[in-house]
């Protein structure tokens, strides 16, 4: 059984703002959301810049109507905001949500709360806080808040988590196991991730510069991005925004944290995603690159794009706008890819000035209107877990 999978709703929260409208306005006008640290309580406050969502946890609870005293992770609240917007855009009813599936990707779960425990012996809500720690808790909180009653599961495959969640959603529909799936990812910033990436020496103290010769690392970010996937035969008239036409995952098994220098896994995931979509390289109008800004990632991805496409299509990384949102990036950049198709536009790769001396690859450096039929979106995770999605115009 194989059914055409269409996207009928989008939801997003990032450093660029709450909702699709604020995010796209920032992309169109070249406004980054990366800024000095304001909310994360860290000893590295004065060293790095981050893509923080510009609302405190108290603000988020107020927006969602959650009691100020309720224990809930920032990861859960960012996810709820994005899923709520996606469901509303798709026009899903309460009855439809009761049978809808939810597949969510995350890397930190409730770590933003559990890492704040100073003394386990004196923490009065110790067990309640610890119960929020697993990645699956954020998915269950999202499902509970929205009344989602179908199949619910969580993906945690590092920075490809949300892309793999979307892939899983499409496979549930194509196999007939679900008619409707909300899929994507959510991740909040935490000291654990900031300290961990700092220890790997892959953070840039300045604003990141994906694919630029002077790139020195990534800027971390947070947020959530979800899309509503529906079988075409049950989607409401005039609701389809795009087709999820292709997807693939490949692993180059090169290193725990580094991508293979030859871009083997990245090439495979892009190639197989296009095969699933029935497309050739020449059909791709735009690549939303993973483009973290680290020397290794961008060199590997540039090699993969060059090997596969030769004269590469227009491409850019939007991480200089949002920061690297880890488990959420596949969902956030999936939303950007679909909006590129909807608005027939290309988003600039900020802070680029000079091509790498090896790849000579040059991203789009300014916002522009263009005919967009098919967008390839890459998400590459630690462990060589590489995923690519293809979104196509209706």
| Local confidence pLDDT in tens for the 394 residues of the chain | 578 999 999 999 999 999 999 999 999 999 999 999 999 999 999 999 999 999 999 999 999 999 999 999 999 999 999 999 999 999 999 999 999 999 999 999 999 999 988 788 887 788 888 999 999 999 999 999 999 999 999 999 999 999 999 999 999 999 999 999 999 999 999 999 999 999 999 999 999 999 999 999 999 999 999 999 999 999 999 999 999 999 999 988 878 777 788 889 999 999 999 999 999 999 999 999 999 999 999 999 999 999 999 877 999 999 999 999 999 999 999 999 999 999 999 999 999 999 988 888 899 999 999 999 999 999 998 888 999 999 999 9
324 is catalytic: yes
Q: Which of 135, 324, 329, 374 is catalytic?
A: 324
pTM of the predicted structure, to 2 decimals: 0.96
Query: Is residue 170 within 8 Å of 312, Cβ to Cβ?
Result: no
Q: Which of 100, 133, 135, 159 is catalytic?
A: 159
Query: Is residue 15 within 8 Å of 34, Cβ to Cβ?
Result: yes
Q: How far apart are CA 84 and CA 81, in angstroms?
A: 5
CA 52 to chain centre: 14
The pair of structure tokens assigned to 99 is 């049978």
Query: Is residue 389 within 8 Å of 247, Cβ to Cβ?
Result: yes
Task: Classify strands 223-231 and 180-187 as parallel, antiparallel or unpaired.
Answer: antiparallel
Axis-axis angle for helices 20-29, 329-343 (nearest 10)? 70
Q: How far apart are CA 22 and CA 27, in angstroms?
A: 9
Query: Is residue 387 within 8 Å of 247, Cβ to Cβ?
Result: yes
* Element of type H or E holding 321: helix 319-322
Q: Which domains does the chain have, with CATH numbers?
A: 5-234 (3.40.47.10), 246-392 (3.40.47.10)
Query: Is residue 280 within 8 Å of 247, Cβ to Cβ?
Result: no
CA angle (330 as vertex; 329, 335 as ends), nearest 5:
95
133 is catalytic: no
Q: Which of 100, 290, 329, 374 is catalytic?
A: 290
The pair of structure tokens assigned to 380 is 């590459």
> Quick one: 141 exposed, middle or buried, by C-beta within 10 A (0-12, 13-18, 19+)?
buried
């Amino acid at each position: 059984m194989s059914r055409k999978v269409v996207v009928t709703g989008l939801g997003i929260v990032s450093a660029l703002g709450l909702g699709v409208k604020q995010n796209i306005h920032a992309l169109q006008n070249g406004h980054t959301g990366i800024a000095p640290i304001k909310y994360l309580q860290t000893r590295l406050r004065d060293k790095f810049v981050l893509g923080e969502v510009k609302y405190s946890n108290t603000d988020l609870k107020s927006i969602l109507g959650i009691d100020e005293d309720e224990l809930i992770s920032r990861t859960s609240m960012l996810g709820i905001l994005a899923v709520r917007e996606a469901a509303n855009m798709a026009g899903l009813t309460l009855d439809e949500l009761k049978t809808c599936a939810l597949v969510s990707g995350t890397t930190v779960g409730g770590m933003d709360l559990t890492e704040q425990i100073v003394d386990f012996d004196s923490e009065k809500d110790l067990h309640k806080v610890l119960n929020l720690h697993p990645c699956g808790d954020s998915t269950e909180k999202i499902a509970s808040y929205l009344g989602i009653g179908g199949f619910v599961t969580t993906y945690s495959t590092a920075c490809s988590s949300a892309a793999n969640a979307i892939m899983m959603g499409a496979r549930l529909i194509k196999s007939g196991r679900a008619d409707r799936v909300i899929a994507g990812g959510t991740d909040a910033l935490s000291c654990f991730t900031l300290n961990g990436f700092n220890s790997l020496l892959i953070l840039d103290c300045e604003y990141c510069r994906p694919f630029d010769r002077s790139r020195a690392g990534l800027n971390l970010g947070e947020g959530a991005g979800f899309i509503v996937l529906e079988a075409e035969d049950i989607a409401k008239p005039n609701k389809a925004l795009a087709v999820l036409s292709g997807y693939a995952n490949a692993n180059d098994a090169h290193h725990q944290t580094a991508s293979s220098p030859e871009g083997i896994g990245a090439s495979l995931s892009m190639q197989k995603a296009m095969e699933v979509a029935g497309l050739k390289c020449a059909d791709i109008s735009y690549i939303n690159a993973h483009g973290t800004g680290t020397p290794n990632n961008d060199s590997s991805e540039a090699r993969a794009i060059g090997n596969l496409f030769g004269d590469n299509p227009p491409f850019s990384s939007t991480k200089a706008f949002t920061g690297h949102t880890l488990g959420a990036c596949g969902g956030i950049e999936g939303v950007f890819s679909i909006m590129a198709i909807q608005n027939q536009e290309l988003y600039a790769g900020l802070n680029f000035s000079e091509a790498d001396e090896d790849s000579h690859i040059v991203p789009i450096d300014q916002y522009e209107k263009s005919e967009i039929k098919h967008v390839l979106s890459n998400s590459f995770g630690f462990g060589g877990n590489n995923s690519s999605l293809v979104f196509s115009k209706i």
